[in-house]
Structure 1
């Protein structure tokens, strides 16, 4: 048979053709829409072939929950994602794309280190507050002229990661720092585009074809060089008895395990783990902020209610704190709704089953790749009313108190839930409230004609490019 044989009983799905699989039935510029149309025909669990390889698609809240939560361990493997392979090492050495014991050890180390350096604590909150004030000042410097907020936001968000990884922040005018952010942004757009989708399906073929996908790897080489340069500077002042940041903690682990040839703590893993944190911690949060500002300009009545709540709870004379969130249900609901509505990572990162798995009457052999469509959870009509409409009331009860919805999964769910979830939640609340406490966002066109359709929708969703002005409140 021309397609890759797999033992077991996979869910039914559209008929594939030689070599191409189901590519002829997929819009590579809008994979989510294609997967939705196939769900209407084959149900919430079905199989598609990306090239010769079968992938089981999970569509909707119930299917995703049954797999990633109720069978969390079975579905905890990380599938292939070729477009994120710098020098063929990214999957093998970084946290996000490793598997088995290596993944467990690196994830445990990263989580404990992030907690030690303030994730969920007052110390990291103060770093975010400091960065939010710097971002606010940069916005004010525009003096009511038009500007694109993209790199204003990414510099601020990335500096929070820098403070944890490198123990320092970079000045916004630092050319090397700005170049790093441009590389991250460029790669996110390529990976989310048709080029990235084609590369993930046909990596061998695409290596020989011209196109933007080749830029991903030159970008990653430059990102790697940035991390290595900062690592060399770090080693000169490294003191094992006084760790300053995640990089120092990793170097300490390397020293302790230097005689263990099987150790996962080495320079290559340190560089790739740092890149994982940079990419995951910079682009997703800054893109959510960028999309959120556009949404708030389209719905000024929502913005006005957030302004009122900020004035009532925080006032104008002190910095917002994470503690304020529990007293600000509407603002909290707006931030949750921004994340639900935009679904920045709509298809999650690919999963695979780590053992032979029975699921809904099917038999998935070990290694079967799985695509949990997170955006389908966020638009499940059984969990959200009018799911394709922006409505903060999705997260409010009848008494206007904040109400959590277990179909809220912007950080995924189960064993592979984003390890930076706590940090991202702190950043989104403090950055949004600091800006809205002090500024009004002014669009260049009437709110009614603002188009929220993403400019790119693939592995990630990229908001349309826009300019705005900000005026003091």
Structure 2
């Protein structure tokens, strides 16, 4: 019996040793990094989580381009502005893929924009960007939709009569209705049951970005069913004289490209692209606005300076336009600093190399997963004077003029840069400025301090809080 046990132990140890040697041999093809162990890779050293803080510590030891092993799979990490920028732009086409894991397949089945690859991704993304431009994203037509929702949000907050409220629900409704107007051509009543469930489902899906459960799958089914209903409604109405929304344009393209074997336009890709736009167009913008209101309560001096600038330049009569940002340098700087400091996407969505390539001189084989640590860019001490402080001066010159910063990359960079960047920028500026002109935001009576530590998740949300919207 003892002999059998010894033989088994020797066999297991030998197997582990061979696996260890295999990993060490494979490491030669990748950038340097911590020593991986059989079966676990580097997961033991990382406490079984890929956390931005752990990545920062590892970069100090192994450099700003290093390799982690998640189980037996290599993952190349880009740390800091220079590594992220060059890594995602010098050979942008080479690192434009997405991983093809089971999770991503459940989310998109290879369709749409966000997680698709190859010809499907290129065609769907190109078309999506073109339609967003045609529909007036960045122009007056789209601006009016955002202004309308911003005014509706002001009316909702006015009804609170300055009493404490959690701004989450009204802010999420506002942002969600903007994307509904873009895609469906109509907004929803805040009391609409389908609208309520759509918002809840999108939140559930985003929350389960690192895992799949029955609840996430159920939410995906509901969202896709709702989108299919909207598409069916558009088809039943017949082709309009002039396309009004994203679905109109897409259905028109399906008709135009029938019989073209190179075309990827169909209802499956339409449904998935709508899904992608909702995920990208609601969660991040709503979360950023929630941080914005929290920071105005925490930094009342900043809030007061924004209000003084808005009053002096715009007064209180007309609607606020995106073009006004050029006359409001301090307000524009505050919004940019909110995005930098809140840093809601710590690590960008994973990329994958589509061919053998190199990143900053290091070899990266085909099908290698690449992670860009966005947190390390927005808090890079070599690019920001006070990276760990909320400081609108990061975006102002000595004369108070707004300045762009090359390390401001909250929307990522390269071929996979966020498709809704311009829409998000418009929403943040118009909604934030409209609210600050209408209200002074304060802590509820008796509350002296507020927690500003983020809640870790797919996006870094603020902890639950309440504030008072006092009409000005």
Q: What are the Cα deviations for residues 64-89 of structure 1, in whole angstroms up to 9, with x where unaligned?
A: 1111122222222223465454xx35
Q: Report deviation, 1:226.
A: 1.4
Q: Which residue of 2 aligns with 1:65?
A: 85
Q: Report deviation, 1:145.
A: 2.4
Q: Report deviation, 1:340.
A: 0.6
3-state SS, counterpart of residue 68 of structure 2: strand
Q: Which residue of 2 aligns with 1:437?
A: 437
Q: What are the Cα deviations for residues 408-448 of structure 1, in whole angstroms up to 9, with x where unaligned?
A: 00110111111111111110000000000001112237887
Distance 1:84 1:220, change over 3 A: farther
- CA distance in 2 between counterparts of 1:259 and 1:53 reads 41
Q: Which residue of 2 aligns with 1:210?
A: none
3-state SS, counterpart of residue 416 of structure 1: coil
3-state SS, counterpart of residue 37 of structure 1: helix
Instruction: Kindly indicate whether residue 159 of structure 2 is the aligned counterpart of residue 159 of structure 1.
Output: no
Q: Which residue of 2 aligns with 1:461?
A: 460
- CA distance in 1 between counterparts of 2:451 and 2:310 reads 27
Matches within 5 A, 1:97-112: 97-112=115-130
- CA distance in 2 between counterparts of 1:91 and 1:112 reads 23
Q: Report deviation, 1:346.
A: 1.4
- CA distance in 2 between counterparts of 1:361 and 1:372 reads 17
Q: What are the Cα deviations for residues 143-171 of structure 1, in whole angstroms up to 9, with x where unaligned?
A: 22222211211111111111111111111
Which sections of structure 2, spanning at least 5 residues, go unmatched? 1-17
Q: Report deviation, 1:8.
A: 6.4
Matches within 5 A, 1:45-444: 45-80=65-100, 83-85=103-105, 88=106, 90=108, 92-191=110-209, 196=210, 199=211, 213-239=213-239, 241-261=241-261, 263-444=263-444
Instruction: Kindly indicate whether residue 51 of structure 2 is the aligned counterpart of residue 31 of structure 1.
Output: yes
Q: What are the Cα deviations for residues 85-126 of structure 1, in whole angstroms up to 9, with x where unaligned?
A: 4xx351510201111221111111101101111111111111
3-state SS, counterpart of residue 78 of structure 1: coil
**Residue 8 of structure 1 contacts residue 365 of structure 1 at CA under 8 Å; is this kept in 2?**
no
3-state SS, counterpart of residue 78 of structure 2: strand
Q: Report deviation, 1:233.
A: 1.5
TM-score by length of 2: 0.91
- CA distance in 1 between counterparts of 2:299 and 2:415 reads 36
Which sections of structure 1, spanning at least 5 residues, go unmatched? 200-206, 208-212
TM-score by length of 1: 0.91
**Residue 450 of structure 2 contacts residue 465 of structure 2 at CA under 8 Å; is this kept in 1?**
no
**Bigger-Rg structure (1/2):** 2
Q: Report deviation, 1:283.
A: 0.7
**Residue 297 of structure 1 contacts residue 447 of structure 1 at CA under 8 Å; is this kept in 2?**
no
- CA distance in 2 between counterparts of 1:431 and 1:128 reads 7
- CA distance in 2 between counterparts of 1:425 and 1:81 reads 31
**Bigger shift: residues 137-146 or 59-68:** 137-146
- CA distance in 1 between counterparts of 2:331 and 2:346 reads 23
Q: Report deviation, 1:262.
A: 5.0
**Residue 309 of structure 2 contacts residue 331 of structure 2 at CA under 8 Å; is this kept in 1?**
yes
**Residue 167 of structure 1 contacts residue 245 of structure 1 at CA under 8 Å; is this kept in 2?**
yes
Q: Which residue of 2 aligns with 1:203?
A: none
Q: Which residue of 1 aligns with 2:4?
A: none
Q: Which residue of 1 aligns with 2:63?
A: 43
Distance 1:91 1:68, change over 3 A: farther
- CA distance in 2 between counterparts of 1:447 and 1:298 reads 12
Q: Report deviation, 1:6.
A: 5.5
